[in-house]
């Protein structure tokens, strides 16, 4: 049996382009003891993909090299198995790759088929885990504080803001279009949403944060970074979850001077979820709880077929996706 | 009775200059109930003074405004008292000001006269408290880690490095002259000291930190900041204690991009000791312990008379002081 997959053809110079990926045909592997074969049904497209293909041996995860199958998270069904923990017919979620079939690994989790796949990919798994760990474990907010989140209409940012509201924070979102801002305010219940493309962003941020900012959740980098930094309150916290606006630059923009990190006693802390797998269960339980209370809304942007990933992944970096982006096979 | 004091005459544009200060003659105040009068015997000169005179209402401490008596830490003796907690004859340490006499406040601590004043000002009080809280409470190092400290020959940096050695760290100091580097290596037991004025600083830092940097203690800003940041290990910590090279600039230099704060899951945390007064006793006890075990050496740069502060404070910003700088009255 043969199946289709995509390799990384070359590292992008700047943003992803279609010629970064190359379709290949692979032969179904022979299973050894402990192996299992997964037929992917849904593949997640995430901003982190741009960092995975960087030539950075220091990063938290092995870089994807030209010639490797491109990495992804995804959901699939076990179709052959020599591993009793992953029986045929079970649904798994984990690192899959841009491929119709993949050999499963021990990092994969079995998930009950009663769980809605869209909710799984959009809320419970990577975006929800990222948002929960970042906000609750790194940010450690207190009720009544002011939270500003960039990339607020993105898969992580939209959850961060909604968890913030559920936890009693005043939440300001920053996004890239008026339509996204309306969605954040009208549907998701953000206290205010700002379009970072507006000329008077600084004045708008000031008006929206009359008591300053206690917690800034950074998903994007770009101009909002320095504006939010300058409005941080003493003893405030900045959670650095992502920098999507910076990934495609040859030289990322500098950050703010460290003088105010000292004088205002700020904590600026980054994280990657691979360091927090011990909190997966807690996170899934908490996210499920918010969902059941109706405190989380999400929208999904679904593409059809593996081939759609090539152009689809580029939407993330032009901000054109509308909600959590994934491919349905 | 009249006595001499110095006001801040104007805010410095850039570094302190002598015309920033103006000598005035004051009348001894009448004491009300609870007041006590301190005759200052030793006045500390500290880099933080440059931040105190900044027009920054957001800072951790009320700014000193033109016309105010310039702020300082110091040691003195209670010479008149209407406060039973501060009897005449007792020695106190606390916020004094550039003045021969000062009204004491509740922030002042009574210190036994058996404690050597030089050790008090150089190790036990502000520099030691700063070094101890910054390294042990914010940095939270583990034995065997690599610590890099900038401003390593300064009053705080030299203690940070020595506490680091006492706690089993590999310690690299960065200072501004070959003489200071020799002192750090030969007298203080640093594993290596680097002169940041050397042209090949980057290569020297790389050679001195073959396993990367786990903990960077920032006292200076300037070129070492970006070099040290780039050599941070995953999950590393940066303690931002001061930025002396940045204080005199109109616009402080930008910091490093936040991309690696995310990808390496770094924590960059600032602090000011006014938030940590609850740890004064623990700190003094610990510093006394290091001293008694012979694990701390220090040198003091002593100026004579209040007038000497005007030019003396400028030594801190040209790096010409040799050890903890203070004025003996």
Nearest to B258 among A243, A259, A265 (CB): A243
Residue A55 — pLDDT band, cuts 50, 70, 90?
confident
> HSE (CB half, 13 Å, CA atoms) of A49?
31
Angstrom distance (rounded) from CA A246 to CA B184: 39
- Is there a contact between B60 and A243 if contact means CB atoms under 8 Å apart? no
Question: What is the mean predicted confidence (pLDDT) over B294-308?
Answer: 95
CB A73 within 8 A of CB A125: yes
Question: What is the mean predicted confidence (pLDDT) over B174-178?
Answer: 96
Q: Which residues of chain B have a CB within 8 Å of the CB of A235?
A: 275
Q: Which residues of chain B have a CB within 8 Å of the CB of A218?
A: 258, 262
Same domain as A172, residue A101: no
Specify if B257 maps to a domain.
Answer: yes
Backbone angles phi, psi at A148, to 5 degrees: -115, 130
Encode pLDDT of A114-146 as tens digits. 999 999 999 998 999 999 999 999 999 999 999
Q: Which residues of chain B have a CB within 8 Å of the CB of A265?
A: 60, 269-272, 275
pLDDT above 80: residue A272: yes
Specify if B109 maps to a domain.
Answer: yes
Q: Which residues of chain B have a CB within 8 Å of the CB of A267?
A: 267-270
ipTM passes above 0.85: yes
Angstrom distance (rounded) from CA B160 to CA B216: 11
Specify if B289 maps to a domain.
Answer: no
Question: What is the mean predicted confidence (pLDDT) over A252-274?
Answer: 96
- Give the residue numbers spanning the domain of B206: 126-275
Specify if B287 maps to a domain.
Answer: no
Q: Locate the chain A residue with the closest alpha carbon to B212.
A: A58
Same domain as B110, residue B205: no
Nearest to B243 among A221, A262, A269 (CB): A262
Angstrom distance (rounded) from CA B72 to CA A205: 37
Same domain as B184, residue B132: yes
Tell me what pLDDT residue A107 has.
Answer: 83
Angstrom distance (rounded) from CA A101 to CA B148: 48
Interface test with B, best of A263, A267, A271 (most B CBs within 10 A): A263
CATH of the domain at B261: 3.40.50.720
Same domain as B321, residue B266: no
pLDDT above 80: residue B57: no
Residue A161 — pLDDT band, cuts 50, 70, 90?
very high
Same domain as A138, residue A101: no
B14, containing H or E segment: none
Specify if B285 maps to a domain.
Answer: no
Cα–Cα nearest to A325, from A106, A41, A42: A42
Question: What is the mean predicted confidence (pLDDT) over B6-31?
Answer: 96
Q: Which residues of chain B have a CB within 8 Å of the CB of A268?
A: 258, 261, 267-269
Same domain as A233, residue A136: yes
Q: What is the DSSP letter of A317?
A: H
Angstrom distance (rounded) from CA A313 to CA A16: 8
Q: Distance from A257 to chain B by nearest Cα, in Å?
A: 4
- Is there a contact between A270 and B271 if contact means CB atoms under 8 Å apart? no
- List the single range of A107-116, A252-261, B141-150 with lowest mean pLDDT: A107-116
Same domain as A102, residue A7: yes
CB B269 within 8 A of CB B238: yes
Encode pLDDT of B90-129 as tens digits. 999 999 999 999 999 888 999 999 999 999 999 998 999 9
Angstrom distance (rounded) from CA A254 to CA A221: 10
Listing DSSP states for B199-246 in one string gives TTHHHHHHHH-TT-EEEEEESS-SHHHHHHHHTEEEEEEEEE---TTT
Tell me what pLDDT residue B106 has.
Answer: 85
What is the interface size between A and B, counted as CB pairs within 8 Å? 133
Q: What is the DSSP letter of A277?
A: G
Q: What is the DSSP letter of B140?
A: -
Interface test with A, best of B242, B262, B267, B277 (most A CBs within 10 A): B262
Residue B208 — pLDDT band, cuts 50, 70, 90?
very high
Question: What is the mean predicted confidence (pLDDT) over A81-89?
Answer: 97
Same domain as A212, residue A137: yes
Tell me what pLDDT residue B248 has.
Answer: 79
- Is there a contact between A263 and B221 if contact means CB atoms under 8 Å apart? no
**Angle (nearest 5°) at CA A86 between A84 and A90:** 130
CB B114 within 8 A of CB B135: no
Specify if A284 maps to a domain.
Answer: no
Specify if B56 maps to a domain.
Answer: yes
Same domain as B222, residue B166: yes
Q: Which residues of chain B have a CB within 8 Å of the CB of A227?
A: none
- Is there a contact between B263 and A257 if contact means CB atoms under 8 Å apart? no
- Is there a contact between B265 and A252 if contact means CB atoms under 8 Å apart? no
pLDDT above 80: residue A89: yes
Residue B22 — pLDDT band, cuts 50, 70, 90?
very high
- Is there a contact between A268 and B267 if contact means CB atoms under 8 Å apart? yes
Q: Which residues of chain A have a CB within 8 Å of the CB of B51?
A: 263
Tell me what pLDDT residue A257 has.
Answer: 96
Same domain as B66, residue B23: yes
Angstrom distance (rounded) from CA B234 to CA B267: 10
Residue A88 — pLDDT band, cuts 50, 70, 90?
very high
Residue A319 — pLDDT band, cuts 50, 70, 90?
confident
Nearest to B268 among A225, A247, A268 (CB): A268
Interface test with A, best of B137, B209, B257 (most A CBs within 10 A): B257
Angstrom distance (rounded) from CA A226 to CA A28: 50
Cα–Cα nearest to B88, from B72, B71, B104: B104
Q: Which two tokens stand for residue A271?
A: 């994280």
Same domain as A134, residue A109: no
Encode pLDDT of B238-281 as tens digits. 999 999 888 878 889 999 999 999 999 999 999 999 999 899 88
Nearest to A258 among B240, B271, B275 (CB): B240
- Is there a contact between B262 and A254 if contact means CB atoms under 8 Å apart? no
Q: List Cα–Cα distances, A221 to A11, A229, A241, B108, B238, in angstroms.
A: 22, 11, 10, 44, 20
What percent of chain A shows pLDDT beyond 90?
Answer: 88
Angstrom distance (rounded) from CA A46 to CA A156: 10
pLDDT above 90: residue A265: yes
Question: What is the mean predicted confidence (pLDDT) over B182-198?
Answer: 97
Q: Which two tokens stand for residue B90?
A: 């007792």
Number of domains forming the structure of chain A: 2
**Angle (nearest 5°) at CA A65 between A61 and A71:** 60
CATH of the domain at A58: 3.90.180.10
Tell me what pLDDT residue A275 has.
Answer: 96
In the predicted model, what is the mean pLDDT of chain B? 95
Same domain as B230, residue B154: yes
Specify if B201 maps to a domain.
Answer: yes
Interface test with A, best of B265, B266, B267, B273 (most A CBs within 10 A): B265
Q: What is the DSSP letter of B94?
A: E
């Amino acid at each position: 049996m043969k199946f289709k997959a995509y390799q990384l053809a070359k590292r992008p110079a700047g943003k992803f382009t279609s010629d970064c990926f190359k379709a290949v045909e692979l032969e179904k592997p022979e299973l050894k003891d402990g192996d299992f074969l997964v037929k992917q049904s849904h593949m997640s497209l995430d901003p982190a993909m741009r960092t995975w293909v960087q030539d950075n041996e220091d990063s938290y995860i092995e870089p994807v090299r030209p010639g490797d199958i491109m990495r992804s998270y995804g959901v699939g069904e076990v179709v052959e198995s020599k591993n009793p923990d992953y029986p045929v017919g079970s649904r798994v979620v984990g690192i899959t790759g841009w491929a119709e079939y993949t050999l499963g690994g021990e990092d994969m989790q079995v998930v009950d088929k009663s769980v809605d796949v869209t909710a799984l990919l959009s809320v419970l798994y990577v975006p929800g885990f990222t948002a929960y760990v970042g906000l609750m474990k790194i940010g450690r907010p207190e009720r009544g504080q002011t939270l500003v989140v960039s990339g607020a209409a993105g898969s992580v940012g939209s959850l961060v803001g909604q968890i913030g509201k559920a936890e009693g924070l005043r939440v300001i979102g920053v996004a890239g279009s008026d339509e996204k801002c309306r969605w954040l305010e009208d549907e998701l219940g953000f206290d205010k949403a700002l379009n970072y493309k507006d000329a008077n962003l600084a004045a708008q941020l000031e008006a929206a944060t009359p008591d300053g900012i206690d917690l800034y959740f950074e998903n994007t980098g770009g101009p909002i970074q320095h504006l939010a930094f300058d409005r941080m309150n003493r003893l405030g916290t900045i959670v650095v979850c992502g920098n999507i606006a910076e990934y495609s630059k040859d030289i990322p923009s500098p950050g703010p001077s460290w003088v105010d990190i000292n004088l205002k006693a700020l904590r600026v802390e980054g994280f990657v979820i691979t360091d927090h797998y011990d909190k997966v269960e807690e996170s899934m339980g908490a996210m499920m709880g918010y969902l059941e209370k109706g405190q989380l809304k999400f929208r999904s942007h679904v593409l059809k077929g593996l081939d759609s990933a090539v152009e689809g992944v580029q939407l993330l970096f032009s901000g054109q996706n509308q909600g959590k982006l994934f491919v349905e096979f």
